[in-house]
Structures are given as C-alpha cells and as structure tokens.
Amino acid sequence: MAEILRIEGLCKNYPTFSLKSVSFGVEHGRIMGFIGRNGAGKTTTLKAIMNLIHYDSGKILAFDKDMTENELENKQKIGFALSELNYYPNKTIRQLMRVTRKFYKDFDEKRFLDVCKLFNLNLDKKLEQLSSGMKVKYSVAVALSHSAELLILDEPTSGLDPVSRDEILDIFREIVKDGKRSILFSTHITSDLDKCATDITYIHDGEILFTGLKKNFVGSYLFVIDRRAERAIEGPYVAAKELDDHVEGLIRVNDKEAFEKEGVEITVPDLEQIMVYLERSKSHESFTL
C-alpha cells in the first residue's frame, strides 16, 4: 500500500538531545500512534515534518513530494495541531474561521459549520474559553473543512476526561474509514492506541525502536507473573521487578517455553505494560534487569 508520509534518516542535534536517523512511514487509511516517554523526540519529529524546525539531515516526503520543496502545496492537504492551541486566544471560533479560510484554497465554510455543529462547538466562544477536548475538536473541524488527507496531531487526547477521549477516538476511526485519509498522532496514553491505532512507531531517546503493525508489536511480547514460593527474578526477561508476593516482567515470545516449564502465569500484555517495561529495560533504575 502506498505511503502518504515517509520520513527517512531524519537527524536533528541539540546540545542535550538528538534525533538519530528517524525513519518510518504512514500508509493511506491508517492510524499510526507515535509513542515514547516525554522527551523521547515525538514533538521534535512532528515539528520537523511540518518544517517548523530546521533539521540537520534526512528526507521527508508527503504525498510523494519533498516536504521542503513543496511545503505550501503539501500543507494544503495536512491538518496539523500541537498539543496546545495558543494562537489568537481572544478570537472566537467564528473569527478564526474567517482567518483560516484565507490560507486554504479548498476551505469549505459550510462543511466547517456543519462539523462544528456535529461537535457541539459554540462558534461565539473564544479559543481560550474552550476545554482541551473542544480544542481538539476545533483542530479536527479545521482539518476536515479543507479536505486534509493527513492529520498530524501532538498529544490530542492529553488532559481529556475518559468520555471526551473516547469520543475523539471514535472521530479518528471515522475519519480514516474511507481509506483516503490517515492520522499520525503522538501520545503517551497507550490505552487510546489499544482502541484505535492500526500501526505503532515507538521512539526512545531520539531513536526508532519499532515501526509497523500494532498487532506485530504487541504480539512480540508476553507478560509473566511468578507467584511461586521460590520465585526468582533471574531469567530471560526484557525487564522485571520483584513485588511483595510475586515477580512480574516482560518477556519475548521466543522465550515463552522457558517460563512455561516453570509453570508460571503467562498473559498477553497491553501496550502500556510493554512500553513501561521496555523503558525500564533501557534505564538504570534499580528494579530492572
């Protein structure tokens, strides 16, 4: 399947942090979750894609065209929002609509108004008066109103209550249903990805550790709970920790047999468990192997 976005060998060096040859792609009709702990490089990568920061090397293609050389054309087909909207906070949605439509040649005012009605957005409310969930809906409404084929969103569900988050995720699934549009969104709320993501890109300390199908990522690991009296933290764990009455840890599927022979409990992990233990395995915190 053709890719709507391709990042290849993206490098960006700061005094205390670097993106290390970041490479991944987003296919048409997919929702890709971009995960990693805070400071791992998610926002830096998204800003580089949108040419909001200068990067040292690498190539970014959107719609099969170089993002730098075709920036204005490509951005007509991209809906982008950082984690917090902070431009024109004293303007109402109606006033912002009048400004926004000047930037997009395909902006459809009727569609924007219809989507705002669907999302229960009050056109006469100022941006600063909107809740976090309503700001996300506003960003999505703008993207849908200029026929964006790719949505790039930074932490869109952060700070939302469970009901609002579930509503936003339903909207995401509906957006990609026709196979023509795709979504790339960064998040540290892995339960959201359990519900809607088809693909995962996992970044750690500026380096991509996995990119591909979510089911392949999750299917690579198992979770072990050892409640035996003679339990031991030794073994082929990715990472493990010892609690009061048991040892628990993440293992690779290929190591399942070694634990089955010991009769310990083996379960399928969720994304949060995988991410937590992978991060722990690469840190120097005392309870990890």
The Cα 64–Cα 157 span in angstroms is 29
- Nearest of 164, 142, 173 to residue 33 by alpha carbon: 173
Residue 33 inside a domain? The answer is yes
Q: Is residue 289 part of a domain?
A: no
Give the model's confidence band at 1: pLDDT under 50 very low, under 70 low, under 90 confident, else very high: low
Classify residue 267: in a domain, yes or no. Answer: yes
Q: What percent of the chain has pLDDT over 70?
A: 94
What pLDDT digit, counting tens, does each position of 128-177 carry? Answer: 898 877 888 888 888 888 888 999 998 888 777 888 888 889 989 999 99
Least-confidence region, from 34-38, 90-94, 131-135: 131-135
Summarize pLDDT for 174-199 with one digit per residue, the tens: 999 999 999 999 988 888 898 899 99
| Same domain? 13 vs 39 | yes
> Average pLDDT of the chain?
88
Q: Which of 159, 193, 214 is the last residue of a domain?
A: 214
Query: Nearest CA to 16 among 41, 37, 34, 36?
Result: 41
- 3-state SS, one letter per residue, for 26-67: EECCCEEEEECCCCCCHHHHHHHHCCCCCCCEEEEEECCEEC
Asked whether residue 118 falls in the same domain as residue 32, the answer is yes
**Mean pLDDT across 25-32:** 96
Q: Are residues 69 and 145 in the same domain?
A: yes
Q: Do residues 76 and 209 share a domain? A: yes
- Residue 192 shares a structural domain with residue 268: no
Q: Are residues 65 and 52 in the same domain?
A: yes
**Are 226 and 206 in a shared domain?**
no
Q: Could you give the CA distance from residue 222 to residue 273 in angstroms, rounded to a whole number?
A: 10
Query: Of the residues 214, 234, 265, which one is the last residue of a structural domain?
Result: 214
Shared-domain flag, residues 62 and 189: yes
pLDDT of residue 38: 86
Looking at the fold, whether 121 and 234 belong to one and the same domain comes out as no
Residue where one domain finishes, among candidates 163, 183, 214:
214
pLDDT band, residue 55 (cuts 50/70/90): very high
> Picking from 109-113, 233-237, 247-251, which range would have the lowest pLDDT averaged per residue?
233-237
CATH number for 29:
3.40.50.300
140 and 154 part of one domain: yes
| Inside any domain, residue 10 | yes
For residue 261, the enclosing domain spans 219-281
**Residues written for the chain:** 289
Q: How high is the pLDDT of residue 84?
A: 62
- Two structure tokens written together for 71: 């920036």
In a domain, 56, yes or no: yes
Asked whether residue 127 is assigned to any structural domain, the reply reads yes
Q: What are phi and psi of 100, to 5 degrees?
A: -60, -40
CA distance 173 to 31: 8
Residue 286 lies in a domain: no
In contact, 224 and 266? CB cutoff 8 Å = yes
Give the model's pLDDT for residue 171: 87
Residue 134 to residue 161: CA distance in whole angstroms: 12
Is there a single domain that holds both residue 142 and residue 238? no
Task: Give the number of domains in the chain.
Answer: 2
The model's confidence at residue 282, banded by pLDDT at 50, 70 and 90, is low
Residue 98 lies in a domain: yes
Among 15-29, 92-106, 107-121, the range with the most confident prediction by mean pLDDT is 15-29
Summarised one tens digit per residue, pLDDT across range 220-247 is: 999 999 887 676 667 788 888 888 888 8
Same domain, 231 and 210: no
Q: Which helix (H) or strand (E) holds 176?
A: none
Is the confidence at residue 289, as pLDDT, over 80?
no
Q: What pLDDT does residue 288 have?
A: 39
